[in-house]
Amino acid sequence: MSKFRKKQGGGTPAISTASLPDIVFMLLFFFMVTTVMREITLKVENVKPFATEIKKLERKSLVTYIYVGKPKAAYLSQVGSEPRIQLNDAFARVKELQQFVITEREAINEAERPLMTVSIKADGQVKMGLVTDIKQELRKANSLKINYSTRKGDVYED
Amino acid sequence: MAKRALPEINAGSMADIAFLLLIFFLVTTTMDVDSGINRKLPPWTPPDEIPETPPVKKKNIFTVLVNSSNQLLVEDEYMEIRDLRDATKQFLNNNGDGTCTYCQGGAKSIVSSDNPQKAIVSLQNDRGTSYKTYIAVQNELAAAYNELREELAQRRYGKTFDDLSVEEQNEIKDAYPQVISEAEPVSLG
């Protein structure tokens, strides 16, 4: 009689998860290819303004970034609420900018130095006074290729 | 003696390891593409030795002033940012001396530019102008040039500017050279 006994536990068979790692690896490689490493921790507010006539920045290794904006809430007690410049991971004064740009330029291989671009990532609320000071310092450092970092979008909206 | 088959390694935790890596990359990387408006700064000259510049006729200069309340004064008249693009295009396309054969719809006004080669856009902002407004103005000025170039590319080659070869692009760029001059910083109040 045991020959004809019905199979036990007739529920749905477990779904094989053998291909789950493959799927996750696929996602992993997608993100590894499409994203870039976050180089610095932002210490300033950085809501970039909108623009439509924008160009992509090529050759990341030739780009130096200058962040400008109000210090984030955690740093308010140390540096106050006036917009500040951030270079790499630290707040900086306008006077330090020239040295910073020259050091960055030295790090680039000599043939490509003329192609170096400085990307100014300033918050929309920053006043032009500070940005003008930065531009003057860049001129003194003879680093003339600049890029005003923006987001793509309509300029009129408030 | 029969060879005993090697026991299979349990790969059940592979997914967990992959997830861990995935989450690590999600957290440490950013996806934003860097883009923006490219500009070239003039070389530094000490304030006391600014070189003599050749005289430029006043009608060939399109002055844009932005004050600390983010208001625009264009050619001595108050203007909204949304009107700036058309005003700039009109100025560039004016064709005052009639030498510009490709300018369409030029007003030939005697108080506006002679031809696009001679036209200069002069931008001056106050120290109190917000960066957002400055970028908006820069964007509109660049847009005016880009639209004129695009129109010319369509008329001459029937293609968009981006689809043209490098020589053709340079030819169009020479037809409408982008000259945006930024004055030395002052306080406009």
**Beta-bridge partners for A87:** A90
B37:A53 CB<8 A: yes
- Cα separation, A72 vs A78, whole angstroms: 11
Element (H, E) at A139: helix A128-140
Q: What is the pLDDT of residue B18?
A: 85
For residue A82, the distance in angstroms to the closest alpha carbon of chain B comes to 13
Say whether A54 and B37 touch across the interface (CB within 8 A). yes
Quote the pLDDT of residue B147.
Answer: 87
- Note the pLDDT of residue A1: 53
A147 and B146: CB-CB below 8 Å? no
B166 phi and psi angles, rounded to 5 deg: -60, -40
- Is A53–B143 a contact, with Cβ atoms under 8 angstroms apart? yes
| Per-residue confidence (pLDDT) for residue A3, from 0 to 100 | 66
**DSSP secondary structure string for all residues of chain B:** -PPPPPPPPP-TTHHHHHHHHHHHHHHHEE-PPPEEEEEEPPPP--GGGPPPPPP--GGGEEEEEE-TTS-EEETTEEE-HHHHHHHHHHHHT--TTS--SS--S----TTS-S-TTT-EEEEEE-TTSBHHHHHHHHHHHHHHHHHHHHHHHHHHHSS-GGGS-HHHHHHHHHHS---EEEPPP----
SS3 A44: strand
Q: Are strands A84-87 and A63-69 parallel, antiparallel or unpaired?
A: antiparallel
Whether this model's ipTM surpasses 0.85 comes out as: no
First to last CA, chain A: 82
CB contact under 8 A, A139 and B125: no
Q: Name the token pair of B160.
A: 């968009």
Tell me, what's the pLDDT at B1?
A: 56
User: Å from B99 to nearest chain A CA?
Assistant: 29
Q: How close B138 gets to chain A, by Cα (Å)?
A: 9
Of A35, A122, A156, the CB nearest to B30: A35
Contact A90, A100 (CB under 8 A): no
Could you give the CA distance from residue A133 to residue A131 in angstroms, rounded to a whole number? 5
Quote the pLDDT of residue B187. Answer: 58
Q: Name which of B31, B34, B127, B133 to mutate to probe chain A: the one with the most chain A Cβ atoms within 10 A of its Cβ.
A: B34
Nearest to B25 among A31, A51, A131 (CB): A31
Give the closest-approach CA distance of A2 to chain B in angstroms: 32
Name the closest residue on chain B to residue A119, using Cα atoms. Answer: B36
Q: What is the pLDDT of residue A2?
A: 59
Counting one residue from chain A and one from chain B, the pairs whose CB atoms sit within 8 A come to 158
Per-residue model confidence (pLDDT) at position A8: 64
Residue of chain B whose Cα is closest to the Cα of A141: B44
Q: Give residue-wise pLDDT tens across range A35-86.
A: 777 667 788 888 888 888 888 887 777 888 888 888 888 888 888 888 888 8
Mean pLDDT, to the nearest integer, of A16-40? 82
Question: What H or E segment, with its residue span, contains residue A102?
Answer: helix A97-107
Residue B106 carries which side chain, given as an amino acid letter?
A: G
The pLDDT tens digits for A104-131 are 888 888 888 888 888 888 888 888 888 8
Could you tell me if B64 and B137 are in contact, meaning their C-beta atoms sit under 8 angstroms apart? yes
Residue A158: per-residue pLDDT: 53
Of A56, A117, A155, the CB nearest to B35: A56
Regions in chain B scoring below 70 on pLDDT: 1-2, 32, 50, 185-189
Distance CA B169, CA B149 (A): 9
A57, A50, A116, A153: which is closest to B34 by C-alpha? Answer: A57
